[in-house]
Amino acid sequence: MIEQINPRARRDAFGSKINRDHSPLLAFGLPWVSILLASLTPLLPVIAPAPILPPFAYLLLLAWRLMRPGLLPSWAGLPLGAFDDLYSGQPFGSGILLFSLTMIGLELLDARFPWRSFWQDWLIAIGLVAAYLVLALALSGARPHEDELVALVPQFLLSVLIFPVIARIVALLDRLRLLRIRRLG
């Protein structure tokens, strides 16, 4: 007698394994789309008299790059930074420069420390966000003033605290990214 097969035997977390495959558009496009959408945060209905919100696009870029090295090409900083500059209020080019430098820096870091845990990723993100905020201030074209560094502190703390949340969101998107939705045959 033929045993009844387990109905879940031909499925995994990403869907049916028969007749279905990953969609390249979703698998490679989702990181880009999510970072581009995060660049649109200035159009959120939050009118802030001081810089408070964390740089979401940059944090998402970091989270994707730290979680899935090699998924975003090393030149991804150019288009993503350019789009971010269109809305962020920074002079055009500052996002391109900082995003590109981040991608190069993380590439070098990967070569030196290939295996990391989340805590180390978080530490790396903290360091990079601090550098990003200070450099973005320096490149903002405004007159430098010591008060502005103090004004960055709440934004920095918020970025540090929100990074694990963003990493979780990226993990969720990563599972979504690999869903088998393409029908074969």
Partner 1 sequence: MAPPKVRGSSSNRKAQLSVFTGYLIAAAGAAIGAALLIISLWQPQALAGLRSMATDAAAPVGKAGAGARTGGQSFFEAIAGYYRAGSKNAELEQEVKVARVRLAEAAALKQENARLKAVLALRDAEQKPVALGRLIGSTSSSTRRFAYISVGSADGVAAEMPVVSPMGLVGRVLEAGRDSARVMLLTDSESTIPVRRATDDVVAFAQGQADGTLRLRLINLGLNPLKKGDVFVTSGAGGLFRPDIAVAVVDTITKDGAIARMLSNPAATDFVAVEPVWKPEAVRMLGVQAAPAKDTP
Which residues lie near partner 1 (CB under 8 A)? 40-56, 67-70, 73-75, 77-78, 81, 86-101, 103-104, 107, 110-111, 114-115, 136-137, 139-143, 145, 147-148, 150-152, 155
Tokens 């045993």 belong to 3
Nearest approach, Cβ of residue 162 and partner 1 (Å) = 12
Q: At its nearest, how many Å lie between partner 1 and the CB of residue 153?
A: 10
Contacts of 169 (CB under 8 A, 6+ apart): 63
In the bound state with partner 1, the residue whose beta carbon lies nearer, of 18 and 111, is 111
Nearer to partner 1, 31 or 81 (CB): 81
Phi, psi (degrees; rounded to nearest 5) at 93: 115, -25
Instruction: Kindly provide the b/e burial profile for residues 4-34, where b requires at least 16 CB atoms within 10 angstroms of the residue's own CB.
Output: eeeeeeeeeebeeeeebebbeebbeebbbeb
CB of 171 to partner 1, least distance (A): 11
Q: Which is nearer to partner 1, 7 or 49 (CB)?
A: 49
C-alpha span between 177 and 28 (Å, rounded):
8
Q: Which is nearer to partner 1, 141 or 185 (CB)?
A: 141
Give dist(CA 93, CA 175) in Å, integer: 33
What is the closest distance, in whole angstroms, from the C-beta atom of residue 71 to partner 1 in the complex?
10
